[in-house]
Structures are given as C-alpha cells and as structure tokens.
Amino acid sequence: MTFELFGQEFGVFYLISQIFALAALILSLCAYQKKKKVQILNYTVVSAICSVLHYLFLEAWSGVATKGVGVIRNIFAAYETHNHKVSKLAPFIFVLFYIVMGFLTYQSPASLLPVLAASIYTLGIYFLDARRLRYIAVLTSGLWLVYGIIVFSIMGAVAETIFIVNDLVAIYRYRRKPRYRNGK
C-alpha cells in the first residue's frame, strides 16, 4: 500500500514513522508539563525511543544513532538526578559516542546535522543555565528541523518547529522586564 504526497510515493513504513514522530512530539510536550526533573527525564526517554523508531522507519541512520545515544544519555541523566550526582566527564563521553555514531552512519553532509545538534545540546544541558540552554535549544532544534526536511519527515519538521516556537516564547518571557519594580 502506497500513497502520493508532494509528487513522491510513500508506503506503510513512512506512515508508521510519522506516527512515531507524533508520539514523540506528544510525549515531549507532556514532559514540559511535569514538575519534577526525574518525571521530565522519564518522558523524554520514552519520547526519544519513539524518535529512534521514527528515524528507523525512515531509514535515516544518523537520526537513529543520535537519538539512540540520546536515550542512553537521558537514562543516565535521570539516574544522576535521582542519586544527586553529576559527572563532569559524562557529557564528553556522550559527545564522543555521537561522533563515533556519526562516522558509522555517515551518508551525506546532512548526516552531520543530528550529530552536531545532539553534541551541542548535550554540552548545553550539562554546563548551561536554563536561560542559555533555551538559546541552544533553538539552535539545535533548527538543525533537527533541517534534517527532518532533508529526510522528508513532515511530523519531525512540525515537531521541531513547535519546539523552536516554544523556546522562543520562553526566551521572550524570560527576557521581558517587569513594568513595576519594587512596588513602583
């Protein structure tokens, strides 16, 4: 069974990939609503697993590899958060894994986009405060957006667009100065 969209023919695997992308988006949006960091990380782990499956069904191997390492990174971060221990070496180990996975799955220059996005974001979550991390999130979502367009993931591109808008709104709200200070 196939269907045509924008002059291209797509099959069942494409539809399945887009369903997993939608599930990843919904889980990520749910994660934003959680109060505890461990709950947020748990939702992001399941979301990342859906993303791995999304890229797997698209045969977008760099996306599969980086999201797969991201699952491990998020599980590790949840463990660190639960045990109140943060490794200074861990982000560099994950970046090394991303680089190795990028090398193993290289198909074209577009393959570098997920590796770059995941590496930058990993360093950001370990070393930046929430305000600066939002700027990094816009940049890395932009890289994933371009990758999503290149591998023709409509839901992936929609999800990254939503994440960019969400982060830009958060940046605006964070930067906005209150009208009245000290009761004036």
Interval 85-113: pLDDT, tens? 778 899 999 999 999 999 999 999 999 99
- Asked if residue 81 is part of any domain, the answer here is yes
pLDDT of 164 reads 95
Tell me the residue range of the domain where 43 lies: 2-175
Q: How many domains does the chain have?
A: 1
59 torsion bin: left (phi>0), alpha (psi -120 to 50), beta (else): left
- Asked if residue 42 is part of any domain, the answer here is yes
- Asked if residue 181 is part of any domain, the answer here is no
pLDDT of 2 reads 66
Range among 2-11, 34-43, 156-165 with highest mean pLDDT value? 156-165
- Asked if residue 163 is part of any domain, the answer here is yes
- Asked if residue 40 is part of any domain, the answer here is yes
> pLDDT (tens digit, 9 = 90+) per residue, 113-146?
999 999 999 999 888 887 888 899 999 999 999 9
Name the pTM for this structure. 0.85
Q: pLDDT grade, residue 158 (50/70/90)?
A: very high
Q: How many helices (H) and strands (E) does the chain have?
A: 7, 2
Instruction: Count Cβ atoms within 10 A of the Cβ of residue 114 and give its class: 0-12 exposed, 13-18 middle, 19 or more buried.
Output: buried
Tell me the C-alpha distance between 129 and 72, whole Å: 22
